[in-house]
Structure 1
Amino acid sequence: MTFSPALAYARPSLSARTRLITLILIGAVVVSSFLGRYDAEIVGFRVRVEQVVPLALAAWMLVHPMLRGAFLRALRHPVPLVYAAFVAWNVVTTLVFSPSLTWSASILIWLVIDLLLLVSMMALAEGADLAARLGRISVAPWALVGFAAYVVANVTRGQIALGTDFDWLYEVYVSRLTAIEANIYASILIFWTLLTITRRGIGRWETAAIAIAVPLGLVASQTRTAVFSLVLGLGVFVLFTVFSLRSAWRERLTRVLPAGVLVVTLVVTYGIIAALGGTEPADRTLPPSASPTASVSATPVDEVTPSPAPTREPDPTNPEQQNKIGDVDFQGGTIGFRLEVARLAAQEMHGVNLWLGNGTNTFGLRHEQPGTPGISGHIIMLPVQVLYDGGIVGLGLLVALFVTVFVCVPRERKPVAAGLLASYLLSATLTSMFWFAITWILIAVILRPLGDDERNDSRDSGRGDAREPGRVFGRA
């Protein structure tokens, strides 16, 4: 089942000046999605660069008469409509249950900005194509610069720590570059990697560059979630492609070969790191002022829990120091922290609140951060967060959003979409990805109409479709 692209991705006849301004703003939106670290306080709220730039783009489209129609048509596309229903439900449950509307407004406003961003990116086909190109060319540089920052910070023991944060639990500097934290840096990397490595026609040199750079970037982030998410996404893409095509097996295997190469280099790199980090850490106790993970906080003025300055010096040569990426501990560490947060959240998820929620961003009003007295708690697991905030109704709307995205993706791109959505859902379950601009840019990119290369390939490989319609999903 597909929906007419006439509801979005218009190609209006624009003057050269209007086209240039629009594409510059769209490019700025994509660039700003990498700059989550930078913000400023405005009327009591911490406002990020990636929130301001989409507002400028949306305002430009609404003001310009040639772009306004495209924007309003995109707003009627099923995906923005379902997301708008999700936002509206958050407003309703907040008005009914939130003990602090100001506290909740910090996230409600963010959700509205995300809606405007999604619609703006879906308004013009050329804009979505530009976003896809910018994302693809960022993959190898984003990974390699992150790895360089990681190496420099740890070799110098924090004397030069640009683009890194200190991880208290493992006494190691981790890369986040211009992102808000290492998890977000890694998530941006893996999502664009998935869209790039699964692109039809990717060359050998580009495949090699990604296969080498991306594992190094993930090592720099020391983010286990990103490794598992990328492997999951690539695996889903491969299986979907192999079992949904009717072409020769050799052609199917050729189609998934670049993804397979990346899986091999990723698994080998991860195996080496895990083996080298096989000993227990010297000290798994957090200092009183440190949080086990940085993420979006519940306070409107200070949404990010800052990483405190280290009081002890990391020593990468210490054989007793555990390498974070090689430590999978379900009892303690960040995984145990998440389980404790979920247990606390369950205390209010019963009765009418289980169905209707507790109001957006209200967990921190009722709970402190586990292990960090005096710090407002926050939920960084998307399903738990949405269930707590919006109840079963809100979680149902979230599920409907992802289902609608997959249904609306062009048939030939469904294997790519399946891999990306699987990877995203795992990442968002363990990190705070949903609110950030990268999410809505990715959705706009995978929903965009097929390019000429994809349409030509579909015609070449889908000769049997007329005989047995509906049997072939096609190619990504």
Structure 2
Amino acid sequence: MTFTPTTAYARPALTGRTRLITLGLIVAVVISSFLGRYDAEIAGFRVRVEQVVPLLLAAWTLVHPVLREAFLRAARHPVPLVYAAFVVWNVVTTLVFSPSLSWSASILIWLVIDLLLLVSLMALSEGADLAGRLGRWSVAPWALVGFAAFVVANLTRGQIALGTDFDWLYEVYVSRLTAIEANIYASILVFWTLLTITRRGIGRWETAAIAVAVPLGLVASQTRTAVFSLVLGLGVFGLFTLLSSRSSWRSRLLRILPTAVLAATLVVTYGIIAAVGDAAPADRTLPPSASPATSAAAPAETTTPTEPVDSITPSAPAPEATRIPDPTNPEQQNKIGDVDFQGGTIGFRLEVARLAAQEMHGVNLWFGNGTNTFGLRHEQPGTPGISGHIIMLPVQVLYDGGIVGLGLLVALFVTVFVCVPRERKPVAAGLLASYLLSATLTSMFWFAITWILIAVILRPLGDDERNDSRDSGRGDAREPGRVFGRA
């Protein structure tokens, strides 16, 4: 089933100056989504660059009369309406259950900013098209620059460590570039890769560049979640295309060929890395000098939501390390190949879920405990004195907003998929599957990249997609016996 609303992606007649300012702000929004590392203190809160720039776009859109009409129409699209209901529910449960409104407000404000960003990008079709192009252009450079930073930092033993963080658990420098941490760097790479490699009409050279660069970028991030997320997204896209397309089998296989090339290079690269250092890792104990806020024991693949600045507990000076970090030790540099289902980050997540379950009963199970309140009741497992945070989206939403909040979240993703144009549903299926896995293991939901992606996949079909759809239809007419799984 496909729902095609008429309340978004307008094409109003704009003057040259208005168009230039609007598109310039959209470029700034996309660029700022890569700059999660940078923030400043405003009114007692840490405010990120990627939160400020969308407000400028929304303000400009609301001030200009023509753009304001497009904004208000886009706000009536089903996806923003469902997301607005999710935001309102978070406000309600916070007012009723949160022990600290200022602490909860840090995330509530972020949710509102995300809503404004989503509607602003859905207001103009040209703006969403531009955002999609910018994201596609970023894939190979984002991957290759990250890999270069990774190589330089490890070869120089941290003497040149720009755009990297040191993982104390595995004694290896990992790339994050301008993102807040390595898993966000990798997630941004994965999501834009999926939208690029699944694009109709992608050329051979672009496919080759992505197939080489992206696996290297993921190696640089040393993020296992991203590898699994990308493989899942590619697999779901391929299966959906094969089982639901109206075109001939040959057309379907050609459609998924670029993704198969990327999957092959990814599996080969990952297999090589996983095979390196087949002996057990040498030492998985942290030296005392590893700060709880930055060490892998915290663990490495996490993201702390916005917090009031004055509520953060400073860490005490640490004693000297018991060993000298050695990023060239091959026994330590095997994080991406070290998959431990008993302990490590998986054990950490299970412990966080167990702590969260202590308050998820009775009325709180249904209505939640208030937005961003886990840290008010629990310390981070393994790091005394540090406020806890839930890094698993379904568990966090269930804890914050209860079954009602989780139901609204599910409704949001279902609505996104229903409203995507039929020809783009295989792409949406792969992207949403990949995103849900990443968000379950990291805190991706609040970041601007999420809402840019949604606006991009919901946009109307371009001429190339329409032409491909018509050509596929003619092919089916010639080969009716080879059509499988008509939508």
- Scaled to the shorter chain, the TM-score interval is over 0.9
- Contact persistence 2:74–2:122 (CA under 8 A): yes
Q: Report the TM-score when normalising by structure 1.
A: 0.95
* 2:219 counterpart residue number: 219
Deviation at 1:462, TM superposition (A): 2.3
Percent identity, aligned pairs only, is 86
Q: Which residue identity does 1:292 align to in structure 2?
A: P
Partner residue, 2:81: 81
For 1:453 and 1:321, how far apart are their aligned partners in 2? Answer: 48
Aligned residue for 1:58, secondary structure, equals helix
- Cα pair 1:143 1:218 within 8 Å, conserved: yes
Structure 1 position 250, deviation (Å): 1.5
- TM-superposed deviation, 1:306: 10
Aligned to 1:174: 174
Measure the CA separation in 2 of the matches of 1:408 and 1:297. 29
Checking the alignment, whether the CA contact within 8 Å between 2:223 and 2:336 is kept in structure 1 is yes
Residues 32-111 of structure 1: pairs in structure 2 closer than 5 A: 32-111=32-111
One-letter amino acid of the structure 1 residue matched with residue 286 of structure 2: L
Tell me, in whole angstroms, the C-alpha distance in 1 between the residues paired with 2:183 and 2:311: 16
Q: Which residue number corresponds to residue 140 of structure 2?
A: 140
Q: Distance in 2 between matches of 1:214 and 1:320?
A: 24
Given the superposition, is the C-alpha separation of residues 459 and 306 from structure 1 closer, same or farther in structure 2, using an over 3 Å criterion?
farther
Quick one: which amino acid aligns to residue 371 of structure 2?
T
Give 1:375's aligned residue: 386
Query: Does the Cα contact within 8 Å between 2:163 and 2:178 map onto a contact in 1?
Result: yes
User: Does structure 2 retain, via aligned residues, the 8 Å contact 1:174–1:222?
Assistant: yes
Alignment RMSD (CA, Å): 2.2
- Partner of 1:76, secondary structure, is coil
Match 1:447 to one of 449, 453, 458: 458
3-state SS, counterpart of residue 324 of structure 1: coil
Contact 1:298/1:362 (CA < 8 Å) preserved in 2? no
Q: Is the 8 A contact 2:173 2:327 kept in 1?
A: no
Match for residue 267 of structure 1?
267
Cα distance change of structure 1 residues 408 and 306 upon mapping to structure 2, 3 Å threshold: farther
Q: Secondary structure at the match of 1:40?
A: strand
Shift of 1:456: 1.2
1:242 corresponding residue in structure 2? 242
For 1:295, the aligned partner's letter is T
* 1:297/1:69 CA distance change after superposition, 3 Å: closer
Amino acid at match of 2:351: E
Q: Helix, strand or coil for the counterpart of 2:309?
A: coil
Measured in 2, the distance between the counterparts of 1:32 and 1:430 equals 23
CA distance in 2, matches of 1:16, 1:57: 17
Looking at structure 2, the residues matched to 279 and 177 of structure 1 have their Cα atoms a distance apart, in angstroms, of 31
Which one of 435, 446, 457 corresponds to residue 446 of structure 2?
Answer: 435
Q: For this pair of structures, how many residues does the alignment match?
A: 472
Match of 2:303 in 1: 295
CA separation of 1:186/1:357 partners in 2, compared to 1, >3 Å: closer, same or farther? same
- 2:185, 2:307 → 1: CA distance? 22
Q: Secondary structure of the residue that 2:40 maps to in structure 1?
A: strand
Q: In the alignment, what sits opposite 1:472? A: 486
SS state of the match for residue 6, structure 1? coil
Instruction: Give unmatched runs, 5+ long, in structure 2.
Output: 293-297
- The one-letter code matched in structure 2 to 1:296 is T
- Displacement of 1:298 in angstroms is 6.3
**For the residues of structure 2 that align with 1:33 and 1:159, how far apart are their CA atoms?**
28
> Higher mean Cα deviation, 319-328 or 443-452?
319-328
Cross-structure match for 1:352: 363
Distance 1:445 1:418 in 2: 14
Q: Which runs of 5+ in 1 are unaligned?
A: none
**2:245 corresponds to which letter in structure 1?**
L
Q: Please say if residues 295 and 305 of structure 1, whose CA atoms lie closer than 8 Å, have aligned partners that are also in contact.
A: no
Aligned to 2:131: 131
Residue 230 of structure 2: aligned partner:
230
The alpha carbon displacement at 1:247 in A equals 2.1
User: Deviation of residue 305 (structure 1)?
Assistant: 10
The one-character-per-residue Cα deviations of 1:397-440 (angstroms, maximum 9, x if unpaired) are 00000000000000000000000000000000000100000000
Q: Specify whether residues 55 and 470 from structure 1 end up closer, same or farther in structure 2 by C-alpha distance, changes over 3 A only.
A: farther
Contact 2:46 2:307 in 1 (8 A): no
Task: State the match for 2:295 in structure 1.
Answer: none
Pair 1:114–1:44, CA change in 2 (3 A) = same
Corresponding residue of 2:284:
284
Supply the distance in 2 between the matched residues of 1:424 and 1:436 (Cα, whole angstroms).
12
Moved more, 101-110 or 456-465: 456-465
Report the Cα distance in structure 2 between the residues aligned to 1:254 and 1:305, rounded to whole angstroms.
55
Find the aligned partners of 2:388 and 2:415 in 1 and give their Cα distance: 32
Q: Answer whether contact 1:186 1:218 (CA < 8 A) is retained.
A: yes
Equivalent residue of 1:398, what SS? Answer: helix
Match of 2:437 in 1: 426
Does structure 1 retain, via aligned residues, the 8 Å contact 2:167–2:173? yes
Question: Which amino acid in the other structure matches residue 280 of structure 2?
Answer: E
Cα distance, 1:287 vs. partner?
4.3
- Structure 1 residues 330-382: Cα deviation after superposition (integer angstroms, max 9, x where no partner): 22221111111111111111111111000000000000000000000000100
Partner SS, residue 336 of structure 2: helix
Change (3 A) 1:443 1:277: farther
- 1:52 positional shift: 0.1
Looking at structure 1, the residues matched to 236 and 313 of structure 2 have their Cα atoms a distance apart, in angstroms, of 34
Contact 2:5-2:419 within 8 A present in 1 as well: no
TM superposition shift of 1:100: 0.2
Structure 1 residue 169: Cα displacement? 1.3
The change in CA–CA distance for 1:175 and 1:303 in structure 2 (over 3 A counts) is farther
Could you tell me whether the CA contact under 8 Å between 1:234 and 1:263 is conserved in 2?
yes
**Letter matched to residue 95 of structure 1:** L
One-letter code aligned to 1:50: E
Q: How far does residue 285 in structure 1 lie from its aligned partner after superposition?
A: 2.1
TM-score normalised by structure 2 residue count: 0.93
Matched, 1:122 2:122: yes
Distance change >3 Å, CA 286–CA 340, structure 1 → 2: farther
Instruction: Indicate how the Cα distance of structure 1 residues 306 and 150 shifts in structure 2: closer, same or farther if over 3 A, else same.
Output: farther
Q: Counterparts of 2:40 and 2:398 in 1: how far apart (Å)?
A: 30
Contact kept, 8 Å, 2:327 with 2:333, in 1: the verdict is no
Change beyond 3 A, Cα 1:10–1:361? same
SS at match of 1:36: coil
Partner residue in 2 for 1:28: 28
Alignment-mate amino acid for residue 301 of structure 1 = V
Partner of 2:340: 329
Name the counterpart of 2:375.
Answer: 364
**Which of 386, 396, 409 matches 2:420?**
409
Please tell me whether residue 183 in structure 1 is matched to residue 183 in structure 2: yes
Q: CA deviation at 1:472?
A: 3.4
Q: What SS does the corresponding residue of 1:7 show, helix, strand or coil?
A: coil
| Secondary structure of 1:47's aligned partner | strand
Once the 2 structures are TM-superposed, how far is the Cα of residue 471 of structure 1 from its aligned partner?
6.0
1:152-202 alpha-carbon deviations (Å, 9 max, x no partner): 111111111110111121111100000000000000000000000000110
